[in-house]
Copies of this chain bind each other. A is one copy, B any other.
């Protein structure tokens, strides 16, 4: 009698959460220092001190009834303009605060954007591997997920995407730097995909939107440039979050950007507002909104992730693991040492290593290793990775 799909969402949770529950249990049994939990994408470095000081200062100086009052639904106009100014300065785009809709993180931004764009039965192309909630948000918006694989190097496969486009295609959802692969989509593939979407939109007589989910934009290593998709394809909506770059995952602070290059951008923006309204969003926390302008352009100390990555990539390669090119985010996507990635994760548990099977990202045969943790834990975990490899004769 309860709606089955919704009940299933609630009962199944997601695989990562289940691993996390196992981890908590196991940590109680053997002591947390003996468990190597590489399953969670929770930032392990604190937010910049500027964030804390700004929050305290607001609480001490702004009258409470103003600080904690409703704002406009898309966010305070001054805050939205500050975000727009920052993005314009950074990427040379032209948007005003009127194109920014503040959201409770990137998850809300995606759920709202898909609600805004999709008519029932319209299709969303999802290049795998990808964050599993994309399927949930697509289904909830009445859409149909169309899952296509990336190439074996985890770059976009433009031919495969072209073959997946039908008259019902409405959105291509891209995530770069990618969770879980850590790969940054290269400029040439981005350019090719943009040309494809432009051509197909003309042929089909309707706009195919590019939805860019980019919470890991600031986490790219070795000077890697992350192409800014509105610079390549005009009908791009950007979903972003300050969860990872400011280490504020629990506070839910992000945005949808509807650039003025989007056809009928005012209508698309109105639909985004309507989507937010329909899903029960009123406004993003007013305290965190007002803190945001002082923190734009700052990041948590991301050098720790770079160091973790350096240590882990070097060691895992030495032990005989293969992986996707680890350009960004705080994930490695490592080839499982047997065909069944679930079985491989189970084997890893024998060495107290918690990994996430690639099936959770619709791209099996791999496992995700999240390295957002103390560098010391990384070092202590290396022997476990080594033993796991040895168990497979490496």
Contact = CB atoms under 8 A, between A and B. Distances in A.
A59 B70 contact: no
A282 B244 CA distance: 14
Given A64-B47, A250-B287, A278 B56 contact: no
Contact of A46 (B64, B107, B111, B116): B64
Contacts of A250: 67-71, 283, 285-287, 289
Copies in the complex: 2
B271 A2 contact: yes
Interface stretch (A7-15, A190-198, A359-367, A377-385): A7-15
Interface stretch (A37-45, A87-95, A155-163, A318-326): A37-45
Contact of A118 (B3, B17, B247, B269): B3
A117 interface: yes
A294 interface: no
Contacts of A6: 115-116, 271, 274-275, 278
A221 interface: no
A280 B112 contact: yes
Interface in A248-285: 248-252, 267-275, 277-285
A333 interface: no
Contacts of A272: 10
A240 to B, nearest CB: 14
A28 interface: no
A275 B5 CA distance: 9
A110 interface: yes
Contacts of A284: 252
A390 interface: no
Interface residues of A, number: 82
A280 to B, nearest CB: 3
Contacts of A52: 59, 64
B280 A110 contact: yes
A303 interface: no
A249 B70 contact: yes
A274 B107 contact: no
A328 interface: no
A281 B11 CA distance: 16
Contacts of A73: 13, 17
Nearest to A274: B10
B45 A136 contact: no
Nearest to A287: B251
A100 to B, nearest CB: 15
Instruction: Tell which of A2, A17, A112, A206 has the most Cβ of chain B within 10 Å.
Output: A2
Contacts of A56: 56, 59-60
A127 to B, nearest CB: 21
Nearest to A250: B286
A393 interface: no
A104 interface: yes
B10 A249 contact: no
Q: Please provide the 3 A-B residue pairs with the shortest distance between their CB atoms, ordered closest to farther.
A: A111-B280, A10-B274, A250-B286
11 contacts: A2-B117, A7-B267, A9-B278, A10-B271, A10-B274, A13-B73, A47-B65, A55-B59, A69-B250, A252-B284, A279-B279
